[in-house]
Amino acid sequence: MKTKGKFGTIAGLIVIFIASLSVFTVDQTQQAIVIQLGKPLAGTYGPGLHFKIPLIQQVVQFERRILVYDATPTEILTKDKKNLVVDNYTKWYIADPLRFYTTVKNEDGAQSRLDDIVYAQLRVELGQHDLSDIVSSTRDIIMTKVAQKAAERAKDYGIHVVDVRIKRADLPEQNEKHVFGRMKAERERQAKQYRSEGEEESKKITAKADMERTIVLAKAYKESEQLKGEGDAVAVKIYAAAYQKDLGFYEFIRSLEAYKKALKEDTKLVINADSEFFKFMN
């Protein structure tokens, strides 16, 4: 009886062991395929509990989540013949595990294939645009096209490309100094142009101000001379009116003014005493 009990226990353990080899589970983040004698069987296993034939069948599991492949920076030639070092990354996931296994085997193989696919599309698309457009206005459009074309090619490997983006786009180190030199020269040219335009505008403003000043001074001088002439005319009329009242007094005043101008200090005159000039001195 004891011997039969031992055999029963051993048999039960063997059954449990074989049963454990026949069951496998797939996590929610995984998906699996079954390999039988080195050949993959049709069908994909999702999350849950599943069965297989022990020792004959093996289970290979793959990620269901979106993966990110960060590519090595690569040098690409643009439409305007500028070398551009592009650092990009790709979001992707395994859409068909069976095809994925038969074509690229694992994630390392998939990333190697994606590297070729994405680089080829980047080279084609960036080669159709100038450097200035790539780094400014058309980058989103370019990357959308790259992602679409890369997704079409990646289908053959059971891969779905979600998105392709450029993290950074730089000029090669040997070209940076040349480009910066050109940028500096261009900025200096623009600065000289702005200074020249400023000086020209300054001269125009100064010339206009000088002309206006001359016109204002001319008008003021004209008005002052007119006022002065009018004042002199009024004065002459007043003097004439006053002197006409007493011609003798007028003659006397005019003679005194002549004496004042003619007989200055240390002045000598040789003249007859009965001269008309000195009639008021007698």
The 10s digit of each residue's pLDDT in 46-68 is: 999 888 888 888 999 999 999 99
Confidence of residue 271 (pLDDT cuts 50, 70, 90): low
Among 32-41, 116-125, 252-261, which is the least confidently predicted range? 252-261
Report if pTM > 0.85: no
The 10s digit of each residue's pLDDT in 15-31 is: 566 666 788 899 999 99
Query: How much of the chain exceeds pLDDT 70, in percent?
Result: 80
Asked if CATH classification 3.30.479.30 holds for the domain at 67-171, the reply, yes or no, is yes
The 10s digit of each residue's pLDDT in 119-158 is: 999 888 888 888 777 777 678 888 889 999 999 999 999 9
- pLDDT of residue 40 exceeding 60, the answer is yes
User: What pLDDT sits at residue 179?
Assistant: 63
Instruction: Render 113-162 in DSSP notation, one character per residue.
Output: HHHHHHHHHHHHHHTTS-HHHHTTTSHHHHHHHHHHHHHHHHGGGTEEEE
* CATH 3.30.479.30 residue spans of the chain: 67-171
Phi and psi at residue 66, in whole multiples of 5°? -70, 130
Strand 57-63 to strand 39-40: parallel, antiparallel, or no bridges (unpaired)?
A: unpaired
